[in-house]
Structure 1
């Protein structure tokens, strides 16, 4: 996780970002600290990436890399405003003993568009990451990479439209995907939890699950009971200040799958 010390919205690279709407950095920091503390209270270790001045979106640390089996697949951001985040992430990994690190040839925004399940790596494209990166990632990770096409600009990253709950169990918002990708998802995950538009719009799919606890935005009320019925324990948190830049729980959380 990376503290939102320099968080602000001074440009717009997704439909949620409006530089005319004020951002309260102090409130964003309090919300971020609450999420960090909840992870620790649940028994998880939280590593801290130091924020860099001039990179207001660095708080969205999920975008900086994808880690699977201890292998680090770096990011190559689509927008110039975020280009300098990628080397900052790779520097952290090198300093912390990671040796299998790949600097990508093709555009990808880390876990924003790469979502590992137990069996596959799901790969979103349509707004940020290049379809060409799928083969590159598959070769590096040695896992099947399944492409999914996003069609609604509000759900510009895969992690705004789909979340892994446990193993190969997922929840997703079907209308965020192309017809072909919806068919693929239905075939791969016939028992998936399907989110409503209201919960998708509330960033309810920008969630993090440890296999039991599902940390998700407090505004996504419609997902709480369905998750409980499946044996999960919802942990609602308020990340509303970060929503102004198009991100929530998952966007600020990069998972280190060592």
Structure 2
């Protein structure tokens, strides 16, 4: 099966066997796991994952890829293919329909839309056991970055507040057809248990993090002036003269909670 990759879908089909094996080994699916693959493409990951788990649900947008994939999978295990945009798939509803407490999600994500897919998955984190994704290496570096890093930003904060982020290994361009112009990396995301999750208002937190990083060179008092005063920032235990990239994810949670308290008082 050698489908013609569609540029409009950002398709780069993984074909190098040793990297396929490393990804499958990282996921380590077991018989009975409820595995969901995003963007199966030609089935390079689908078939070995299916062989291990015996059943798998794949979400594929490209209708041209589905018939051949279904034929190839028939002799391997039970494959359900959902033709849909993954951003419109409710993972909680899917888990309930599949009779699973939680899903194990994997995929070689289209790089042009990887961040929206990541945020979508995080919104459904209570229905997900873990995630293993192939992404642009630069994105994985941002996801795992620590405060003070040049690549630490909104993606770092929001993902680290929801998941444990573990970069696993890099994958070179020549492992794909056609080769992308960037290096890739595989990352593991494990949603935090309820006791470790933040208790800030999600919308307020998102808006504060977004505003703080919108102009990285600005101090918090300038970047957040539409969100909260310098005094409110101090009440959160944060220096108003600091810049966003120096704050820990938990400090953003503190800012969001104080901002909500001030809004309720006004």
Bin for the TM-score computed over the shorter chain: 0.3 to 0.5
Asked which structure has the greater CA Rg, the reply is: 2
TM-score, scaled to structure 1: 0.35
Q: Which structure: greater helix fraction? A: 2
